[in-house]
Chains A and B, each alone.
Chain A
């Protein structure tokens, strides 16, 4: 898109329509360094820099705060505390009033922002922060939910219970029963671009924010609330983020609010960007869980009843923990039918940073808990876990009601798994691995095939709406705007493809523009894999409105029926003549036809009654499966991913290249969560893994040695989604679970597959080795 060519007027198809592997719209700017992130923007004259002062204890009353040395430090212009917030010191995204911009009387985790320094340079602000003298009266603290009574601990937000049938009775009556507990670690987003906001003050009450956020409307509302101004005074814009993954759904509010307050106080633009260590310390992460399960099953491995208790480390405030733990429950069935089920959540208060959204939003944690139960049943019966998985799959016409009473109507997991099982030669490799392990005393191989069913829609029904704004200029070029944000996932290009398709114009005629609250209001976060589903439909609606006007105009002007106005590639056939798209739009302009329109979409069918735990929270489900083979070293616990085969579906893909990128990237991120990525808090409440030196996301050399990713070409969305495509952001993240189970399978060989390894996550070399040692002991005992 860097060169502007005249569109072909004879082409059979447009360039960059739907179902084409259009490259990312910014690819050429990414590789040349010309893609502008917020820290790269030209800075307004007089720009000031803010930096956060963080608490150094995990739980305490603030006795006194002496900031005089901070104020006196070189370059310092201002120091803000929570008392300096003009109208409200509250940025709780769920309005529970539990999250201050800056802590005033108490701190609830180590690293909580207490004050902000505003200085001429970022370095001056950062250095000055170190000069604060804060006296604390420390109070007892808890960072680890294992140290809590998980059933009785303080919650940050109300829990959820899902129930169908009488789980307790079913478990009691089942021929076999077992219980267990699993620890499942959290995850830092590690977006490469950390949090950042720049506020530019305007006239009257106005302020414009450039914020690295997935949720511009929420930043707008929070900033307005803190400043005490109407939403119309606050404009939030974001062209692109350097990664989000959920970490910028709510967590950008704080930075934006501080920048805005400082900007209005001084009438100067203010930028705030924490260092990576502070970003990781002071912003929320994926929830870690302790999952208790109690399952009853028969001798063939059919689950008869199951009881789950999903306890999560929520941190000091609610943030999104309610919805995250809800979604864990919504996925505790994965692809399996439970005749009777009870599942409860417990979003527990801890003196840690408030955990937040992260790709999958609790769903992956629910699936991991579920897959552990499958493994337990398999080991108890001496069967291959894949056999147990298949035995418990949802049916297509019966055995298809979820724990939340939604009927699964689009189940394709049988075919997905069957094709993958055959394509990856699961059975043959299972035998080969057994033979390898028999002859290899130190290295052990493991194999696992795990399925994914992921529910698509925000479970908060009102978020399932989107708006778009499309302008067609007189020359036929198009300006596209919508409420979705671009964080790398390719949303912008997909929506541009949708609009290009509607007008039948080459994609380079469609200008993709920065997301801004000034063009499309009241938007939802770009989250829950919904970006394309929602915004694509909204943009399509806007384009269709304009196209209809053009059709009506052409029909009238050329005196033909409207069905003789046909949009062909870059031209319109009107009766017997073809008119270039840009010529028709010029004529329409001259005839005073409105060539700008908004579009709106709300997802049909869905509803959810949280109090009853019943409803249809999901518009549809996305499916996939992965088969992983690993090798472990039973002397050190080191692992190697030898091969992974993936079969995943995105309905009728809008853009296979983008979708495969999401699948590959999601898989690796999910694998990292369950293998090398470990969050460690020390005995003083300090997060010790707060930078890439200590927190290890996957590298190129952690990829599977053989990595076969296939996009199933036969499914299409059962519902009328945008061009019958399906969401792809989160579901493939859960494919990484196959690696975890393959490691577990390899560990199990240490005791001849007679004992369920009960491996906790992440499966670091340490956890793998300790599990091997435990199995050897138990097998010997």
Chain B
């Protein structure tokens, strides 16, 4: 075996950092605040929901260096190897003046108590780098992961749209540093395995997917971490011992999306953000759904593979992928097996994954032109909320008759689950309201949802049934819109 590197190395603002002593569950936020005394980055919730801790992480991609907003509170320090961490302290404008994002926020009265403000500044900065002339909708999307309790957001949105009147991307300080930063990061990322810590308390960044397989064979009980948008909470909220940790978020081989014979193969390390372009282009209904998963910071970190492997009954990817007939490839050592995604979910908290085995990729058939697909998520708050009910529908209708139906739900059972009774009630029947209403009565045979803080069982059942009716109205020629819409003008 190649000798592993034993330091986590990355750039923090202008400085190169090399750490030999990194606790496997140490968060970036704690390290910034406690070890580096960089206290502009705030802790608001320690679970990736409020955005007060937002920092930028620059990482090399095939398209060059990309800076993304992430939640420092649930980002593990070790995962930053080979990255550039940019905190609010690093922002600057011309000649020591405020950065354009900061000046816009000041001029538009975008802060009141100010505690959330550094996080907003960083999220807006990330947005502006991608989109210097954002629409109101783009601003809202960029701010889904940032909570402000004082302003009501109006001045922040106005500031966000005015940033470019304070400066240009070309003049931006990070743009000026970009080439040098990319070179420094390339020098750090030599390509070998990185391993810090001793005994059980280790944080491992495998050199490759093959190396990952080897690491996991040796450490079958290790915690696999990709985006840490859930595992982060195991640490910050439940104080669970997750060591040893095997990080996979840096593995380029797991970050690929390819299409062959009408099937998309998405590597387990592909983030929601990275998947968005392909998925929303090839399966348009997936775009608006992905936009409602977490905020930008969570989508930048979280992966589709992680959403599957995690096994949650309220993950937002499994229901649509099951409805689309997706399969998942699991790998242990050199052995791979591919199973239907729905079979991966065995019971609450139990998946068909052996110790040492990992999710390598998910394969998603692109619906044919004749197939109707939709997926809708129902939540208390539209954006950045966890699913109460999520329904996904793939129906083939020929000559007014339902030829095939795959319907899956989240939030309705202990696992993401197909509505097989409902499907059976539809297949072979004419695609009419009568058929749909008859099928709506079948739901209790498929699902017995629970009541919790997100919704009552009664509501879940009613909303689940009504989503089928919505699907019929949308794909049955309703004349009026049937869903409330942020985009449609008031």
Interface on A for B, CB 8 Å cutoff?
23-24, 26-37, 39-40, 126-127, 130, 189-194, 240-245, 275-277, 439-443, 487-490, 629, 631-633, 635-640, 642-643, 657-658, 660-661, 664-669, 676, 678, 680, 682, 688-689, 691-694, 696-707, 709, 764-766, 769-770, 773
A-B contact pairs, 9 of them (CB 8 A): A24-B114, A30-B105, A33-B87, A130-B239, A189-B149, A192-B149, A242-B116, A699-B144, A707-B154
Chain B window 43-75, contacts with chain A (Cβ cutoff 8 Å), 1 for yes, 0 for no: 111110110100000000000000000000000
Q: Which A residues are CB-close (under 8 A) to B141? A: 701
A698 partner, pick from B381, B452, B480, beta carbons under 8 A: B381
A149 nearest CB across to chain B (Å): 25
Binding site of A, secondary structure by majority: helix, strand, loop or mixed?
Answer: loop
A442 partner, pick from B42, B91, B478, beta carbons under 8 A: B478
Binds A, one of B195-203, B301-309, B392-400, B455-463: B455-463
Q: Tell me whether A39 and B140 are in contact (CB under 8 A).
A: no
Chain B window 85-129, contacts with chain A (Cβ cutoff 8 Å), 1 for yes, 0 for no: 001110100000010011101110111111111100100000000
With A442-B482, A691-B45, A766-B456 already in contact, 7 other A-B pairs whose C-beta atoms are closer than 8 Å = A28-B98, A35-B114, A639-B484, A664-B151, A698-B381, A699-B147, A773-B462
6 A-B pairs with the lowest CB-CB distances in the bound complex, closest first: A33-B40, A488-B113, A242-B115, A30-B114, A668-B152, A488-B112
| A192-B484 contact given A24-B109, A24-B111, A629-B490, CB 8 Å threshold | no
Query: Does residue B489 face the partner (Cβ distance < 8 Å to A)?
Result: yes
Q: Which B residues are CB-close (under 8 A) to A676? A: 380-381
Bound-state CA distance A636–B482 (Å) is: 10
Binds A, one of B174-182, B320-328, B383-391: B383-391
Q: Which A residues are CB-close (under 8 A) to B489? A: 705
Q: Tell me whether A275 and B455 are in contact (CB under 8 A).
A: no
Q: Tell me whether B381 and A696 are in contact (CB under 8 A).
A: yes
Bound-state CA distance A244–B112 (Å) is: 11
Q: Tell me whether A443 and B482 are in contact (CB under 8 A).
A: yes
Q: Which of B19-55 contact A (CB under 8 A)?
A: 33, 39-47, 49-50, 52
Bound-state CA distance A709–B52 (Å) is: 27
Q: Tell me whether B380 and A28 are in contact (CB under 8 A).
A: no
**Which A residue's beta carbon lies closest to that of B30?**
A123
Q: Which B residues are CB-close (under 8 A) to A666? A: 152
Q: Tell me whether A689 and B114 are in contact (CB under 8 A).
A: no
| A705-B486 contact given A27-B111, A665-B152, A667-B152, CB 8 Å threshold | yes
Binds A, one of B220-228, B242-250, B333-341, B467-475: B467-475
Bound-state CA distance A557–B33 (Å) is: 56
**Which B residue's beta carbon lies closest to that of A683?**
B451
A243 partner, pick from B103, B113, B139, B380, beta carbons under 8 A: B113
Q: Tell me whether B462 and A276 are in contact (CB under 8 A).
A: no
Q: Tell me whether B106 and A27 are in contact (CB under 8 A).
A: yes
| A701-B144 contact given A24-B112, A193-B44, A765-B380, CB 8 Å threshold | yes
Query: Does residue B237 face the partner (Cβ distance < 8 Å to A)?
Result: yes
Q: Which of B348-397 contact A (CB under 8 A)?
A: 376, 378-386, 388
| A661-B155 contact given A636-B467, A676-B380, CB 8 Å threshold | yes
Bound-state CA distance A30–B484 (Å) is: 36
Q: Which A residues are CB-close (under 8 A) to B480? A: 439-443
Bound-state CA distance A437–B481 (Å) is: 12
Bound-state CA distance A440–B484 (Å) is: 12
Bound-state CA distance A294–B91 (Å) is: 60
Q: Which B residues are CB-close (under 8 A) to A707? A: 154
Bound-state CA distance A36–B289 (Å) is: 39
Q: Tell me whether A32 and B39 are in contact (CB under 8 A).
A: no
Query: Does residue B485 face the partner (Cβ distance < 8 Å to A)?
Result: yes
Q: Tell me whether B153 and A668 are in contact (CB under 8 A).
A: yes
Bound-state CA distance A439–B482 (Å) is: 12
| A661-B151 contact given A191-B113, A241-B113, CB 8 Å threshold | yes
Q: Tell me whether B46 and A30 are in contact (CB under 8 A).
A: no
A276 partner, pick from B45, B105, B139, beta carbons under 8 A: B45
Chain B window 420-440, contacts with chain A (Cβ cutoff 8 Å), 1 for yes, 0 for no: 000000000000000000000
Q: Which A residues are CB-close (under 8 A) to B33? A: 39
A665 partner, pick from B52, B114, B150, B383, beta carbons under 8 A: B150
Bound-state CA distance A519–B89 (Å) is: 33
**Which A residue's beta carbon lies closest to that of B483?**
A633
Residue among B110, B144, B152, B378 with most chain A CB within 10 A: B152
B486 partner, pick from A40, A489, A640, beta carbons under 8 A: A640
B207 nearest CB across to chain A (Å): 32
| A33-B41 contact given A488-B112, A664-B152, A701-B383, CB 8 Å threshold | yes
B77 nearest CB across to chain A (Å): 14
Q: Tell me whether B455 and A766 are in contact (CB under 8 A).
A: yes
Q: Tell me whether A701 and B140 are in contact (CB under 8 A).
A: yes
**Which A residue's beta carbon lies closest to that of B381?**
A696
Q: Which A residues are CB-close (under 8 A) to B146? A: 700
Query: Does residue B8 face the partner (Cβ distance < 8 Å to A)?
Result: no
Q: Which B residues are CB-close (under 8 A) to A704? A: 490
Q: Tell me whether A31 and B98 are in contact (CB under 8 A).
A: yes
Q: Tell me whether A703 and B154 are in contact (CB under 8 A).
A: yes
A128 nearest CB across to chain B (Å): 11
| A31-B112 contact given A668-B153, A769-B462, CB 8 Å threshold | no
A127 partner, pick from B152, B239, B466, B482, beta carbons under 8 A: B239
Q: Tell me whether B150 and A488 are in contact (CB under 8 A).
A: yes
Q: Which B residues are CB-close (under 8 A) to A245? A: 149
Bound-state CA distance A240–B458 (Å) is: 45
A393 nearest CB across to chain B (Å): 28
Q: Tell me whether B484 and A632 are in contact (CB under 8 A).
A: yes
Q: Tell me whether A192 and B44 are in contact (CB under 8 A).
A: yes
Bound-state CA distance A637–B455 (Å) is: 12
Q: Tell me whether B114 and A26 are in contact (CB under 8 A).
A: yes
Q: Which A residues are CB-close (under 8 A) to B116? A: 192, 242
Bound-state CA distance A680–B455 (Å) is: 10
**Which A residue's beta carbon lies closest to that of B50?**
A692
Q: Tell me whether A33 and B88 are in contact (CB under 8 A).
A: yes
Bound-state CA distance A27–B112 (Å) is: 8
**Which B residue's beta carbon lies closest to that of A40?**
B39
Q: Which B residues are CB-close (under 8 A) to A629? A: 490
| A243-B378 contact given A439-B480, A694-B454, CB 8 Å threshold | no
Bound-state CA distance A665–B110 (Å) is: 11
Q: Which A residues are CB-close (under 8 A) to B46? A: 275-276
Q: Which B residues are CB-close (under 8 A) to A441? A: 478, 480
Q: Which B residues are CB-close (under 8 A) to A487? A: 113
Bound-state CA distance A31–B473 (Å) is: 47
Q: Tell me whether A32 and B88 are in contact (CB under 8 A).
A: yes
**Which B residue's beta carbon lies closest to that of A732?**
B152
Query: Does residue B212 face the partner (Cβ distance < 8 Å to A)?
Result: no
Q: Which B residues are CB-close (under 8 A) to A668? A: 151-153
| A638-B154 contact given A30-B117, A488-B114, A765-B378, CB 8 Å threshold | no
Q: Which B residues are CB-close (under 8 A) to A243? A: 113, 115, 149-150
**Which A residue's beta carbon lies closest to that of B456?**
A766
B389 nearest CB across to chain A (Å): 8
Q: Tell me whether B47 and A657 are in contact (CB under 8 A).
A: no
Query: Does residue B143 face the partner (Cβ distance < 8 Å to A)?
Result: yes
Query: Does residue B2 face the partner (Cβ distance < 8 Å to A)?
Result: no
Bound-state CA distance A39–B32 (Å) is: 13
**Which B residue's beta carbon lies closest to that of A693?**
B49
